[in-house]
Amino acid sequence: MTIEIFLVGVGTGNPAHITLQAIEQLKSADIIIIPRKGDNKSDLADLRYQICNEILGEECPQLFEFDLPTRNNKQSYSKAVEEWHETIAKIWIDCIEKAQKDLKKSVKSVGLLIWGDPSLYDSSLRIAKRLKPTPQITIIPGITSVQALSAAHKITINQIGKPFMITTGRQLINFGFPDDIDTAIIMLDGNCSFRTLEQERYYIWWGAYLGMEQELLIEGKLNEMSDVIVETRKNAREMHGWIMDSYMLRREKIVGKIDPK
């Protein structure tokens, strides 16, 4: 039987950011499956439960959990990700089969709450395509941390007539800040890769837990804010057990031409 997978973007953690389209799609699912990333990151699963309870209420489908495996970082990055995705796909199948046994009925549609938006640095679509038989896939877009960061700092991302880049901390370390770009949004950076740059050349807008009650925002010249961000990030991660953050870098030479606010 071919099932349908709903990949539903739920923004950065604030239930108010979830669209009406996302709500209706989740309500129509037979089940919703929720990943758990270990006890020290249980807040992430708890937030998904909170979102379901607040926005779906009595119309919420049955919820089922699965344990998200750890990626093998002893291999090359590409091979580790490939094997990790294959393992997760098998776990999804096991979770769906367990749900069918528990509910004593066929499961025809499965909802997943995707942090941010399924289009941006999320692997759920690639994992879904590994399922056999290949499922039908419906994607509902959500608010990204890029949008939330820009709104929180009250800034526009692009300069007039200028391109910008969205990339990762890994890419920033490996290739540096590109010469032909003035502005970059950096995501998935657990190593604070901005420390590898010539810090006096950049201005930074940093944010964590965007749109949530515990939101943290820091901005300023990178050489003045770098240590502040590293320490703030470390303390927040210890307090909550997890952190999701992103930041925008702009070459300092052009910051003076605009009002950063």
Residue percentage of the chain with pLDDT more than 90: 76
Dihedral angle computed from the Cα positions of residues 55, 59, 62 and 65, in that order, rounded to the nearest 10 degrees: 0
| Widest pairwise Cα distance in the chain | 65
Domain assignment of residue 37, given as a range: 4-143
* 156 and 139 in a common domain: no
Structure tokens at 139: 């994607």
**Phi, psi dihedrals of residue 224, rounded to the nearest 5°:** -95, -25
Which CATH number belongs to the domain containing residue 12 in this structure? 3.40.1010.10
The DSSP 8-state label assigned to residue 177 in this structure reads: S
Which CATH number belongs to the domain containing residue 228 in this structure? 3.30.950.10
Q: Is the pLDDT of residue 261 over 60?
A: no
Which phi-psi region, left, alpha or beta, contains residue 5 (left: φ > 0; alpha: ψ -120 to 50)? beta
* 244 and 182 in a common domain: yes
Calculate mean pLDDT across residues 86-96. Answer: 95
Structure tokens at 175: 């290739």
* 16 and 138 in a common domain: yes
Contact between 54 and 15 under an 8 Å Cβ cutoff? The reply is: yes
Contact between 11 and 143 under an 8 Å Cβ cutoff? The reply is: yes
* 56 and 150 in a common domain: no
- Domain end call among 104, 123, 143: 143
Is the previous residue joined to 15 through a cis bond, with omega within 30 degrees of 0? no
Residue 260 domain flag:
no
* 175 and 91 in a common domain: no
- Tens digit of each residue's pLDDT (9 = 90 or more) over 97-141: 999 999 999 999 999 999 999 999 999 999 999 999 899 999 999
- Domain end call among 143, 169, 197: 143
Indicate the number of domains in the chain.
2
- Tens digit of each residue's pLDDT (9 = 90 or more) over 36-88: 876 555 567 788 888 899 999 999 999 999 998 988 888 888 899 999 999 99
* 49 and 73 in a common domain: yes
* 150 and 129 in a common domain: no
* 214 and 189 in a common domain: yes
Q: Is the pLDDT of residue 255 over 80?
A: no
Q: How confident is the model at residue 253 (pLDDT cuts 50, 70, 90)?
A: low
Query: Given this model, what pLDDT does residue 259 score?
Result: 47
* 170 and 118 in a common domain: no
- Domain end call among 81, 108, 143: 143
- Tens digit of each residue's pLDDT (9 = 90 or more) over 139-171: 999 999 999 999 999 999 998 899 999 999 999
